[in-house]
Amino acid sequence: MRTVGRGPLRVSRSVVVPERELKWRFSRSSGPGGQSVNTADSRVELSLDVGTTSALGPVQRARVRERLRRRLVDGVLTVTASEHRSQLRNREAARERLAGILAKALAPPPPKRKGTRPTKGAVERRLAEKRRRGRTKRLRRTGDDDV
């Protein structure tokens, strides 16, 4: 049997969060479960203090803080999982969710868009179309506008 929630959390090839830095909390979950729902603490909260973790370098820490600023509470990222009946599966879900959020936040920024210019032919076609539309509208006018 494999142990879930044990060992380091692998976010990417270069980022691995040590187990001791992960904080677990368990509580009663709402939803399905029958009689056991009132006795089993199957809801899982997994927290990581982004500001003090040894898994991130200064540049990575700044990037995560910037990109997750709305999700962090006092520098702590918390995810919850309560969709499964068993605590074990909720622990797996919470670990996967935390790793996914961190991986997305750590991804390098996309390359800047290189500005482009319209081709000479495209500019000429646009101006020719404007002249044609202007001519059409001019022909629609009546000559007695000054009355």
Residues belonging to the chain: 147
As to burial, measured by CB atoms within 10 angstroms (0-12 exposed, 13-18 middle, 19+ buried), residue 31 is: exposed
**Predicted local confidence at residue 97, as pLDDT:** 92
Residue 10 has pLDDT above 80, yes or no: yes
* Helix axes 87-106 and 58-67, enclosed angle (nearest 10): 110
pLDDT digits (tens, 9 = 90+) for 48-103: 988 888 888 888 889 888 888 898 888 888 999 888 878 888 889 999 999 999 99
DSSP H helices, the chain, are 58-67, 87-106, 120-140
Q: d(Cα 27, Cα 78) in Å, to the nearest integer?
A: 14
The one-character DSSP state at 143 is S
Q: What is the pTM of this model?
A: 0.65
**Predicted local confidence at residue 124, as pLDDT:** 97
**Predicted local confidence at residue 2, as pLDDT:** 46
